[in-house]
Structure formats: C-alpha cells, structure tokens
Amino acid sequence: MQTDLPDSERVIHFLRVTGQSSPANIRDSLGLSRSVTFRVLQALTHARRIVSHGQTRTLVYRLNEREPPLGRIDLN
C-alpha cells in the first residue's frame, strides 16, 4: 500500500479492498497508532465517507455507498 498518501486516503483505499474492517485491523494493517486511527475514523465518519456498524468489540467500518462526499454534492 502506498505510504505517501494521507492516512485518511489510505484508510479509504483499504476499505475499498477489504469491504469492511475493525479499527484494530485497520490500525494493524496500515501501521497506524491507536490515536491516529481514532482521529482518522472519526474525521471520515463526520465527513460521511465511511459508516460504522456494531458496538465495542463488534465495531466495523465500511465505505458509505449511500451519500456522496460533502465536496461532491451538486446544488441546484
């Protein structure tokens, strides 16, 4: 995986490949710290690029297929 990409884009790419993943698996696979992983996942969730399912130990993230990213919404 390319490491010259921002962490958020690396997570997006990882989720495109895997479909869904737990925070621990994302962290371990991408070599991110817990705090960086948490911040990236929170930012991507807030931007509606990813969605989470489950709670605590069953929590997984996947790409948000229902809504376009905020920057891609066309206004009439």
Beta bridge mates, 20: 62
Does position 70 have pLDDT exceeding 70, yes or no? Answer: no
Q: Binning pLDDT at 50, 70 and 90, where does residue 65 land?
A: confident
pLDDT one-digit tens code per residue, 16-49 = 999 999 999 999 999 999 999 999 999 999 999 9
* Residue 74 resides in a domain: no
State which H helix or E strand residue 51 sits in: strand 50-53
In three-state secondary structure terms, 32 is: coil
CATH number at residue 40: 1.10.10.10
Higher pLDDT, 76 or 68: 68
Which alpha helices (H) appear in the chain, and where do they start and end? 7-18, 23-30, 34-46
* Residue-range definition of the domain harbouring residue 11: 7-65
Domain membership of residue 43 (yes or no) is yes
| Phi and psi angles of residue 65, each rounded to the nearest 5 degrees, phi first | -90, -10
Q: Residue 18 domain-assigned?
A: yes
The encoded tokens of residue 55 equal 């709670």
State how many domains the chain has.
Answer: 1
Structure tokens at 72: 């891609």
